[in-house]
Structure 1
Amino acid sequence: MKLTFFENGLHGENAHVDPLEVFDGLRWEKSGELPANCPYSVWQILNHMIFWQDFYLAYLKGVVPEHPEQDEDSWPDETGPSSENEWNDAFFQFSSGLKEAENEAKKDLQEQRDAGLERTRGDLLATLMAHNSYHTGQVALIRRLIGEWPPPSW
């Protein structure tokens, strides 16, 4: 089965790291480390990615989510998870959302949503894909800075 541009893009291709692989093998205790001069930890980035992924998935399903007043409202205050379970739950939520996005990518991408949004499904998926790719690169850099790169599967 041939994958679409969006299905490939949601999992990184060519120079882009798969957003699922970037978290591979990272111990939950290390996900909260905040290297010098870095504004966010891997944990905070993961939760920020979840926030916006869920936001765009809502649009793709025809629901108009409430946009945060400030961009900072999409970032968690805690720099790290309180337990391995919390880390695993967040990763599961992210990976499940990515699977939902893949399913949305298989639908008619030109369909317009009548939600006061002048964007197509393809536009929304492209935004989600670019957002995840951008932050995946940040996670890779932070993992390098904390001595946790490359993932063990590489």
Structure 2
Amino acid sequence: MWNKYPETGKIMNSSAQQDRKATVKALTELLNGGHAHVTFEDAVKDVPAAQRCIRAKELPYSIWELVEHIRITQWDILEFSTNPEYRELSWPDDYWPGTEKPADEAAWEKTIAQIRQDREKFIALLKKPENDLYTPFAHGNGQNLIREAMLIADHTSYHTGQIILVRRLLGIW
């Protein structure tokens, strides 16, 4: 069976549709985490407020700084993937928070919620059949949707591991 995507005019046979579906399923699982490593949600669950802002000895970041960095970076990748008018952030200043701790509990919760929401938006982007996973974005320099999905998963996983390391050093893991 052949399907034509209304927005792109591209035609995809049922085998290609199945391949795409399997790829999107695997990317969704990768973005949600939990197979070979702890999920982001588990890593930040029940972190005492007083310890979110502590920089363990010899480490240049607190748990809050890592969490906020994940939020900023994931948002930036989502923005790049959806906005042809994307404006690049300045590295490293725009990718890290300006403070070692959240302003209050509401700021912490808002950051955690935003990470979930932006991840869900990115997964929805992947699931839209009219969004080609492999075609480079017109506004980039070779990046495509599948690369950006793997970038989010890789980046979040890396920093989730650091969150666990900080928790271990603080005696809260």
Same fold (TM over 0.5): yes
Q: Do the aligned residues in 2 keep the contact of 1:58 with 1:64 (CA within 8 Å)?
A: no
Which of 140, 144, 154 in structure 2 is aligned with 1:116? 140
How far 1:79 moved relative to its partner? 0.7
Corresponding residue number in structure 2 for 1:68: 89
Gap regions ≥5 residues in structure 1: 150-154
Which residues in structure 2 correspond to 1:81-96 (within 5 Å)?
81-96=102-117
Corresponding residue number in structure 2 for 1:144: 168
Gap regions ≥5 residues in structure 2: 1-20
- Across the aligned residues of Structure 1 and Structure 2, the Cα RMSD in angstroms comes to 1.9
Corresponding residue number in structure 2 for 1:25: 46
Rounded Cα–Cα distance in structure 2 between residues aligned with 1:133 and 1:74: 16
Which of 50, 75, 80 in structure 2 is aligned with 1:54? 75
Which residues in structure 2 correspond to 1:6-21 (within 5 Å)?
6-21=27-42
Q: Do the aligned residues in 1 keep the contact of 2:40 with 2:157 (CA within 8 Å)?
A: yes
Which residues in structure 2 correspond to 1:35-46 (within 5 Å)?
35-46=56-67
Count of residue pairs the alignment pairs up: 149
How far 1:144 moved relative to its partner? 1.0
Rounded Cα–Cα distance in structure 1 between residues aligned with 2:41 and 2:85: 27
How far 1:15 moved relative to its partner? 2.0
Q: Do the aligned residues in 2 keep the contact of 1:45 with 1:139 (CA within 8 Å)?
A: yes
Rounded Cα–Cα distance in structure 2 between residues aligned with 1:63 and 1:50: 21
Q: Tell me the amino acid that sits aligned with residue 137 of structure 1.
A: G
Which stretch shows the higher mean deviation, 103-112 or 34-43? Answer: 103-112
Corresponding residue number in structure 1 for 2:14: none
Query: Between the two proteins, what is the percent identity of the paired residues?
Result: 25
Runs of 4+, deviation exceeding 4 Å: none
Q: Tell me the amino acid that sits aligned with residue 118 of structure 1.
A: G
Q: Do the aligned residues in 1 keep the contact of 2:62 with 2:166 (CA within 8 Å)?
A: yes
Q: Tell me the amino acid that sits aligned with residue 110 of structure 1.
A: Y
Normalising by structure 2, what TM-score? Answer: 0.78
More contact order relative to length (CA 8 Å, sep ≥ 6): 1
Rounded Cα–Cα distance in structure 2 between residues aligned with 1:45 and 1:100: 21
Corresponding residue number in structure 1 for 2:3: none
How far 1:64 moved relative to its partner? 4.3
Rounded Cα–Cα distance in structure 2 between residues aligned with 1:148 and 1:106: 37
